Chain A
């Protein structure tokens, strides 16, 4: 992002780029992937760099920044195809907890996240949710006074493989897509009735499918007020969505420039591919998509402090645009590389894979466009 960054923000961007380019070389990532895409030492380093606190307030143990700081980091992470679950813990979980108005749990968890000592992961997504935040079919029933019993399934929980605790959303009242009636519970991954199955995604990040069968927790494990978790989840997901879009911009930008360099270097018929005007035009179209996506990201960031409907509309428009632009840019990056583009050994295909998982996370472009259309229909009626 380059829309009037403050001096401090520019420093954050520069230092993040230096750190990530030095430490996250594509050639060295296989051992990390085999280790669940997590490295405990590096996690501690990220904490030392202060990255987990960039968008938390000072009273929450952070450094007082906001969504822009997160976006700066995420865009840089996108450029190097960062694998570790910074987004899952440092953004989605942290922002949800921060928005829960639960001072007790916030005091326990947020400073520990900032210090790199706690790794809570939000177990919220369900197989049929498709990015609908209020979609919660997992249930929590009060089995005896002060005791709750949780049952249900959570799916593709990013970072779930290395969580030290889950924050499980469950329905204590209402119907599956009601906003009221969702409650957050802190659950130990090893608790009786928990089945956690680790899965590697196509982009080499790891996640977990979780099954809860009559998992018992006490009242003290509830975060926020009973049945009132939607607002916190919505806030957490807003931050997570804009962060993901920022990452996508980094992914697209790097894919574009790698491809630019490749077609300048690759020769066939005695000339560089870059001399073919049709390929120059293709690259210009890719640049146009990248710049539109980046501008949409700026718009989403600007909307983060506005009222709910306007923010939701801006986020949906951004997610949809970034998804479609990103798929175009990354698919064309492969096409312009030719054969080498479809190999696992060469980096460009991994940008394409990462972009694909971004597109289908938190609601695809298609879903968000439908959502915008639905909102327009309601407004017009």
Chain B
């Protein structure tokens, strides 16, 4: 295997590293401690604005809408370096990865010019209204109704698991405009102002006090037809396009949990039955296993990036990384609680997920959100191994008859 050498990227990375070293510490780690949720969000907006000023926001998005107009590889390089800091990025993680880019592809020009720049500068947050109580993995089973009225549509129903809906200014939503055709064919995609009358956002309390998730209720919510993205009945296609925008998502190599080094540090200062934990066989095995796995994951990441640099589509690398990171994060979390003894059962609601091992064990949402472990395994079986798809009796049936 030949490792491709990409000189431009090297220079880009060096610049990014230097820029981050100069600016990131004021927005990361210790700078975030003791801040309320609101203050952290403000810090996140300030960071986003600073990045926009220096061409590091919306890296792949067109310059005329406020982006940096650069390549996906440059974005990956910047993300890799940016993730080394504990920055408040999560509020924009959905907004700028999916809803804003899809809007910038399909919305009328005046909307793109008006809404692109403030979203990229962090003044606006966009949410993605996809999942519903009966439509999780099976997104096309969604029920939110959109009915034609005058020059627009009226929406009624419910969404769930919507990240940051409570602070979102705009959102993209997929709704059922025709229940008489098969489920994938009856959907249409819109974007909307989250302050439109009839929208109610209700927070979902999570096991770990993370305030990100919401239920969103639609009660006669009017959306002008000009805010439709894609054709009537083309919603599922646009939804898939939305999810594919990031062909390869750069994930933190600790699965957004504490690092392996932090685990080793904890073990260094812990004792099991009177002996140093680092002498314990199970602890040593867990560390060695995670270490070996990390080498594999780094290597598979490089492979994906190299493939993209060569103009190829990334393969199963992203799915494999997500699967393994989710498992390892939870496993190390459990063992870390163990090392902390009974103190592990205390829970600090304010702790950051990148420093607190309790969250890694208590919050398996990485293994559920954005494709459960089981769905990813299924996808590998069907797409890569060419094994038959599961039996789907509702296939081809009109939605209202299945």
Contact = CB atoms under 8 A, between A and B. Distances in A.
B136 A360 contact: no
Contacts of B134: 267
B345 A271 contact: no
A369 B283 CA distance: 13
B328 interface: no
Nearest to A127: B343
Interface stretch (A65-73, A238-246, A333-341): A333-341
Contacts of A270: 392-395, 397, 402
B241 interface: no
A155 B207 contact: no
Interface string A332-368: 0011001101111100010011001100110011110
B346 A202 contact: yes
Contact of B345 (A128, A276, A342, A356): A356
Interface stretch (B61-69, B78-86, B143-151, B356-364): B356-364
Interface stretch (B17-25, B256-264, B289-297, B333-341): B333-341
Nearest to B275: A370
Contacts of B38: none
A367 B273 contact: yes
B273 A335 contact: no
Contacts of B397: 270
A371 interface: yes
Interface residues of A toward B: which range? Answer: 35 or more
Nearest to A205: B345
Count chain B CB atoms within 10 A of each CB in A199, A202, A267, A344 and give the residue with the most.
A202
A267 B330 CA distance: 27
Contacts of B367: 335
A369 B285 CA distance: 15
A367 to B, nearest CB: 6
Interface string B193-219: 000000000001111100001000000
Interface stretch (B227-235, B306-314, B369-377): B369-377
B42 interface: no
A343 B342 contact: no
Contacts of A356: 337, 345, 361-362
A278 interface: yes
Contact of A128 (B207, B341, B362): B341
A34 to B, nearest CB: 15
Nearest to A135: B274
B263 to A, nearest CB: 14
Contacts of A132: 273
A103 B373 CA distance: 59
B60 to A, nearest CB: 29
Contact of B206 (A130, A343, A361, A369): A343
Contact of A339 (B160, B341, B361): B160
A377 B370 CA distance: 47
B346 A339 contact: no
Given A156-B342, A335-B364, A366-B272, A271 B204 contact: no
B131 interface: yes
A364 B338 contact: yes
Contact of B372 (A156, A275, A335): A335
Contacts of A357: 345
A364 B368 contact: no
A269 B394 contact: yes
Interface residues of B, number: 53
A376 interface: no
Contacts of A334: 364, 368
Contact of B373 (A335, A341, A345, A352): A335
A150 B210 CA distance: 41
Contacts of B110: none
Interface in B130-173: 131, 134, 136-138, 141, 160-161
A349 B337 contact: no
A128 to B, nearest CB: 7
B347 interface: yes
A268 B136 contact: yes
A319 to B, nearest CB: 13
B129 to A, nearest CB: 15
Contacts of B136: 268, 338-339
A353 B341 contact: no
Contact of B280 (A341, A361, A370): A370
A37 to B, nearest CB: 15
B131 A353 contact: no
Contacts of B345: 156, 201-203, 356-357, 360-361
B290 to A, nearest CB: 16
A269 B172 CA distance: 23
A351 to B, nearest CB: 11
A360 B342 contact: yes
Contacts of A361: 342, 345
Interface string B250-292: 0000000000000000000001111000001010000000000
A177 interface: yes
A155 B345 CA distance: 11
B390 interface: yes
Nearest to B369: A339
B237 to A, nearest CB: 19
Interface-centre pick from A278, A345, A356, A366 (highest chain B CB count, 10 A)? A366
B93 to A, nearest CB: 17
Nearest to B340: A360
Contact of A344 (B137, B138, B207, B272): B207
Given A276-B390, A356-B345, A366-B282, A341 B368 contact: yes
A29 to B, nearest CB: 14
A155 B160 contact: no
B372 A338 contact: yes
Contacts of B361: 356
Contacts of A129: 341-342
Q: Which among B206, B207, B334, B390 has the greatest number of chain A C-beta atoms within 10 A?
A: B207
Contacts of A327: 334
Interface string A275-300: 11011000000000000000000000
Interface string B302-337: 000000000000000000000000000010001101
Given A268-B138, A327-B334, A339-B160, A125 B342 contact: yes
Nearest to B374: A278
A229 interface: no
Given A269-B392, A269-B394, A338-B368, A177 B346 contact: no
A125 B206 CA distance: 30
A155 B390 contact: no
B140 to A, nearest CB: 9
Contacts of A331: 330, 364
B341 A202 contact: no
A342 B206 contact: yes
9 contacts: A127-B341, A155-B343, A156-B343, A202-B347, A278-B377, A334-B368, A341-B368, A360-B338, A364-B337
By Cβ-Cβ distance, the 5 closest A-B pairs, closest first, are: A270-B394, A344-B205, A268-B138, A202-B347, A130-B341
Given A269-B137, A269-B141, 5 more contacts: A156-B342, A269-B392, A275-B391, A278-B377, A366-B282
